[in-house]
Structure 1
Amino acid sequence: QFFKMGIGICVIEMRGSTIREAKNRGFELITPFKIFSFVAESEREKREWMEALQEAIAEMLYDYEVAEKIWSNKANKYCADCRAPSPDWASINLCVVICKQWQHRSLGSNISKVQSLKLDTSVWSNEIVQLFIVLGNDRANRFWAARLPAAEVLYPNASAEQRRDFISRKYREGRYRLPHPHYATQDDVLQALCAAVTGPALLKTILQFFSSSEAGLAADPAACEVAPGANLFPRTKEPGPEGVYNEITQPVTHSGYLYRATAPHKLPGTKKSKEDFQRTWCSLEKSLLFFETEKCMEPLGHIESGDLLSMGVSRAQALTSPNPTERFRFTIELFLTGEKVQQLGTDGPETLQAWASAIGKWFTPVSCHCLLGYEFQRVGQLRYKCMLNPERWQQAFFILQKAHLFICPAEEDGAEDSINLRRLQELSLVPPTETPEKKELLILVEMGRTFYLQGLSRADSAAWYADIQASAGGRGNALRDQQLSRADIPIIVDSCIAFITQYGLRHEGIYRKNGAKSRIKVLMEEFRRDARNVKLRISDNFIEDVTDVLKRFFRELEDPVFTLELHPQWKEAAAISSKPQRLERYKELIHRLPRLNRKTLAALIGHLYRVQKCADLNQMSTKNLSLLFAPSLFQTDGKGEHEVKVMEDLIDNYVSIFNIDEDQVSQMDLENSLITTWKDTQLSQAGDLIIEVYLEQKLPDCCVTLKVSPTMTAEELTNQVLEMRNVAASLDIWLTFEVLENGELERPLHPKEKVLEQALQWCKLPEPSAAYLLVRKVPIGEGGCLFTGTKRETPKCGLLRCREEPPKLLGNKFQERYFVIRDRRLLLLKEKRSAKPEREWPLDAAKVYMGIKKKLKPPAQWGFTLTLDKQQLYLVCSGQAELWDWTTSILKAQHDDLHPVIMRRRSSSDLAKQKFGTMPLVPLHGDSTDVTMLSANQTLRRLHTRRTLSMFFPMKMHQDSLEEQQEKEADPDPVYEEVGNFPELAALELGRELLADLSAVPPVDRSKKPTPFPEQPPATALRSSLPASSAQRVAGPSVTKALKKSIQPPSPINDKLIQELSSVILRKNEGQPPGPG
């Protein structure tokens, strides 16, 4: 019925999924959370579904930026050879855009240099993209197909043999092309085009080439008879995939002088001096031969292509040693069978690239040749396993080119693939002792896909790991060169935002206070070197350092996130007086940004929107954040009025400009409430929470850390935990429990319950850290009914011993009474046959916990706690089976008709716009009479008030070193310019709001950071941040001496701090003058 109505019963996220073939007509769709099994009606239908799903998965990995630019020329939207729509490949030297079915593999790279528009976008320079936009398929075909007869025109459904013959006649022989006035033969034409692509002034040279040929088009009668624009290629639908036609390999020949190491060594990467090399004549044909000179006939040695496992290319930076000529900067390493490595040195980069390309094409299949014409780091064979066939090792050629690892399978039916090393979530090396084959194993995890790589020798494995690790690291200051997170934004941005969101929302003056330059420099270098392995921890990193790192990253980008090209248009947009028109113009400009810039900007603005919603805690309004971030994001001197206006509009109107739905806004409000009240929560950028889940018992070895999304159910979480811990499938029932009171209360979550919504409620508990999630096995007879849709024929009823809090009808002692579950209510009957209940409790919002607090002294161990709105019922059963029966009956009554979760919504803060003009600095505390701000943040203000004591005594403290104190005296950088007179304003606000209940406590100087102490519970350890100078004015020399002692970590920390605070309070009451503020 749903199928006939066109309604889907399930939505499957394809990102990170794989397809695996099963027996007979079956196949499996493997997602990160679940495995779906399908059976087709025929083998043909099975293949069609698998290909369609594989194409959908591949779409997730494509980058359409280059393709969309090239398709902007309408002629490029159709294949130059068959007119198939949306071609995603191109021959760079032939200047035609072609479809996947018509790749010029059989021509060889010396005729057609084929490149994908979607997979490796890094090879597409702006000049090449501009060439394809200006030229277009129509103009290219006016040269290549000017004399094509209508009878020989082919269509997308042509066979592989027809395609091979057609492209050979069109490009190898040049049968249909125009004559060129400067090049007589087809070989001359092809050589000229190849030279133009690799030479300078590519755009000018290629356009001049085609312009010269078009000069004779009008005078050529044969060409005019069949003009390519006369509907010779009608538009048709794209055909289904067919087998790739046979490839014709071209002989590779190359010769010249190289410097050869005198003897092959077994240690890869060993740097030899020039004295260890001998100048030899090298000739590459069927074998790689070494001669003493070019006139010698007897070779000194040779290497067969079958002995070569891989080749590494080294382009070392200029040496800075006293004698930089001791070693070769440009070398080739040939990894051979028998753990041997042959080193070859060259004189310059041109010779290196020529030899590397020639040797690479010599021992690899033609499918690799299109990539070997460009610079690469390594090429060779590897064994690999992936999710498509996780049980079988396959062998393929891999090419490491910049930050991409390309896979060219040796099998004819293998699928080509590429791995973006910048997007790796994990890169690890498993030692031989931990693998079944007793060989090193390299693991690459990218966006839900996992690849296992294994070299063919130990030296080869070590070299591949070193090169892949180097390519996967960050390099340069361009946004495109950064390591990316799961959210497709730079890891440095993702990590800093997550850290600041978790620990900085309550931090007063966030983003305004500067960190120590020495620490910032070290942290920046760590992120630049390998952001993937940088873990920010509150125990190791300071909030001020992380905020400065984030601002500095944007300021030091090669091109601003808003781009220099669009900077004038951003300023024009900010000057538009009509707000709706101005916001619409912002949307247009954001859409014109590159995809990476767009996603990074959206993540940052979303974070700043979250920060300003907690302005009553951190005192950072939209105005202040805009003043601080505009210089970094636009890379200006900090005095741009229009740039600040843009930032204000983007932050205040984040929801509408970036099309954020109400559920995401509500989720953000809930997370803000949780973070500002429960500091142990870890927040991820996707609106999810990273939560620790324990398997069967709360032990460190049984802990699993995973990300819980707002839509994840208890059943999904249970399955994911079991999969992560490799628990074998069985008939056992596993449930997720919410555990409170350190294990005294356990609540089995119904499989349909949303886990995150339950975890968010922990912030209301007196001790949130005492709650955790536990996955454990239960007997199938007890928990199995939760997974079935069957209903009871009769309502659940029986005698239970009950007690309630606060005591009303039942009193504060356990009494035996008769209970019934009916119509999603728990009824208390005076007798079994009573028609009217004495009491009733709705079960919709109730929570049932197995167990009763020990301090209540229940009469038996088989009890459960029913938590209602303002009341708790404690009910005791006669045995474990009855306990499970009551618990599951309540859960099924609650979830038989599960309603959509309605999350609590809060109004966003729409701060009053202030006149900009000369850019006045806004006080951090804002205007206390701003009704809009107070209304928008009243909930967070109540939470802030409950924690005034902990905010008055900061959690994170340290004693600045002499170096850091000297740094503070230096003039601050313009991009980190301070906003307002923070110390004085902070003291004034503290005097009005916080010191009302603590009149005896002197003010806090937050411009200095005291030494951190071991973390203690807030109720027992009060932390002082008074500087010595203030203490002298308030408490005299005795207090100063005590404070100096307290700077060093004492042993009885609690007694010491309480004694100091008491001394200060007593002396102030005796009439000592207060400190400043």
Structure 2
Amino acid sequence: QMTVPISYSNPVNSIDLACTLSRSYDLGDSDLHHTPVIKMGWLDKTPPQGSLIFQKRWVMLDAQYLRYFQNEKEVYSKRIIDILSVTEVLNVGEQKFEVVTRNRTFLFRAENNSKSVREEWVSVLKETIQQRRSSMEMSLMNFSFTSGQHDSGVSLISKQGYLEMNGLRSKVYVVICADRVFLYGNAEEHSQGVGITYIEMNVGTVKSTDKRSFNLTTFYRTFSFLAESAQQRDQWVEALQDCVSRSLSSDVVAQKIWAVEANQRCADCGAPHPDWASVNLCVVLCKCCAGVHRGLGQSVSKVRSLRMDEKVWTDNLIQVFLLGNNMVNLFWAANMPPSEALHPSSDSEKRQRFVSAKYCQGKYRRYHALFGQQEALNKALCSTVQTDDVLETLSLVFCGADVNCYTGDPELPSPVSMAQHYGQILQVEFLTHNHNTGRSLINQPSAPFIYIFSGCIYRSGTMHLFLATPHLGHVLYAHSFELYHDSGRVYLFGEDSSDKVKGWIKAIAKALVPSAAEDLVCWPFERVGRFRYTEGQSHHSPLLGWFSLGGSRLLLLLHGADRVENIDLRKIKELSMEQEAGAVVLVDGGRSLRVEGDRRPDFQGWLSGLQQGSGRGDGPLDKQQLTDTDVPVIVDRCMSFITQHGLKSEGIYRRCGVNSKITALLFFLRHDPRKVRLSEGERQVDDVANVLKRFLREVGEGVFNGHQASLPWLHTTSDEMSERVSQYQALLHSLPRVNRATLGAVINHLYCVQCFADENQMNMHNLAIVFGPTLFQMDGTDNSAGQVVEDLIQNYQDIFNVTPLPAPLSQISQEVSAEELVCKVLRRRNIPPQQGDYWSCFLVDNNQEIERPLHYQEQVLTIYFSLGKDCHLVVKKNCYMEAILTNIEGFRVPKKVQQAPGPSPEVDSAVGSGHHQYRACSGMAAGSEAKTFGGWPGVKKGSKEATSLLEKHQGQTNILQKVQGLDC
């Protein structure tokens, strides 16, 4: 930010507000003016002291103000004159004219002593003043000469007062009015309508800079102000930020809702022109009351702005609000005594008490005739949503009707679906916004009630409970279980005998679930219950399903299903919580399942159980988040990153990374590895390698399932390698499934790394020195750990029963083009087309280290036979294509060219201009690359038997596979 010098002489004189950016800089001048400019041009003007020396000024006139500037490039005027403060415009002599206000006369002279220019200015000024006054008279407005009166007569001034301004000896009088900030020399100038300038806040930002100072920054300059105290500074900053928000907002929605007269006053305190609303409670609110509503939380009141949240305000929602605050308050405030009413001047504490009593406790509401009769309320709701009586629906919902109740019709299971069926779009809108707020909003207990009973009898699906006598006091039992009722009550049952508790749980659970869901209770579950859920992106019309949770397994029977599904929570793709909505989202196998908690007291326990079951970074391997191959996600992510970006990194796994970055990355991976994405630009190879080593060294029980289980691996002392291999195989099969898969993945990865020992200098022995102590979680003094790891790498095929795959061969004809070859390779690699990727066949010359993409019509076989031993062909993504396309003038969408015979229709997007690209995915996943490489053990770089190589070229990871002598 630049500090610009300000010239001054007297507080009542003009002030030169020089800009750091001239008006000629194209920022859209139309945004700087609410009203169009009527006339502008150069005029001579006498200085304030009355000197006969005229000064040249650039003058602009619009419907509201006459302003003059230092020059035509300035944005902020030296003076601003409110048109309504002008009392008279007079001709003086032959070329001059006067603009007379109540406290000052401004003398102007036409440029070049032109009488016609003077006459034109005088005529336009008089006409503008007359039009302005006529419009005010027609509106029956009593407009004062301040800049703070709106056409409606309601003051739009949000704050005014004196502030020190950087570069001035005296203070300026600052007025925040609507979406502008006006600067005056003093308060008297403000009352007379003659000021210095105004600042459009739609191009401004506000920021506190010191204990008492703050900056108002625009495109053109920075205004630095100093308040009298820190508290005053905070008040000014808040008011200015509100002004910025107003300037960026739209009145379209507000004007539609204010069309109902009752909506022009706040539903709670009666303040005028409220521009906020609670979309689920259907009340329009002022800013102060909206802040209190927001403090209640989204589960009680969903507060939205009429000006800034335009996307929320659909036509249907606006129609709902046309009910008006008066009609809605016939329910919310039907029994409110005048002594407890809220007023615009009420303090924040009184507002909080009132709003909480009105909406949380329902203290003033009109009780429905069916209040307290849950079944009758639900039936009445199902009947009402078939009509257009939204007010009756509101009364039913906030008197206890369940928005998500079952209607009794399997075709229309919920009130929302029933309203949709009968075409009641306003009912659908209201129910949708109250999907998670209706039933338990009012009279919701602050904590669940807990009842302790001395005994109970279960008979014919009913539990008969016997209350404990008061003198028994608190009794603690070794084993207990809880029952959660729809009413929100929690029943706690306890016994000293675990067998008795299990018997009770089994009997109650079997009676609780339907017959089709008996599998949910025939295993050692921790929780079982029913929840509403939705699948996919739509959250409307939730269905009812049964769920059973235990450890890392979630069993569920969805609506209409005939069998129970079993989900391994450790292998799901995503688990996210919607705290405000009280829901959890599970993504598994391409399916998204959103389970709704309906604010039930037991749902928090379900959330905790799901999070624990989905894997945690501080547990053993079998408690980690896992891939589909039972490998911890942390291990898989790290190895995949190194496979893509670090196989040729010299000294990989031996070099140290940055300790702070390693610690931070490991923390994030342990917290939720599914959400961590490792990219080459953000992470260094050595940091990721050290994260992998540290995790394997610190993970609970280690890869070998504890110290005792690892000892047999270290005591394989046979001199014969074949005997040691047999012992390793037996020990491998004795490991738990996740440990066995993890060990196999790590050794597979190390096997790949040593294949590039010529570049990375990490042969089997060097890797064993590093990973021996790491995998066995030892201090490195015992060489036997390194020997075991070296044996595992060297005999990877035999120990892990990996069968070398023959190199797949493919016949190609002499007429095959580059286009057909690319299509064939993508199909064989199972790489589906994806928008935004471009694939080409490249001719690579290793000797000269150059490459060129082949034209899509070039015949590949002819080119291949002409190559030398240092050349080969490779199919990979064309990283140059984006730059090519941006330089082709007028090129926006890749053009399709006629496809040569043969290629699959699934890859038909071809781009000409000398190259042929294919829209496809970004290539095989990193994990699949490692597996593919590991599928051909025994590969030695540079050997004639090599059937596949994993090579990094020009920042791209390519799998080169020999097909009849053609590297693809």
- Give the TM-score normalised by the residue count of structure 2: 0.38
Larger RCO of the pair (alpha carbons < 8 Å, separation 6+) = 1
Query: Which of these two proteins has the greater Rg computed from alpha carbons?
Result: 2
- Give the TM-score normalised by the residue count of structure 1: 0.34
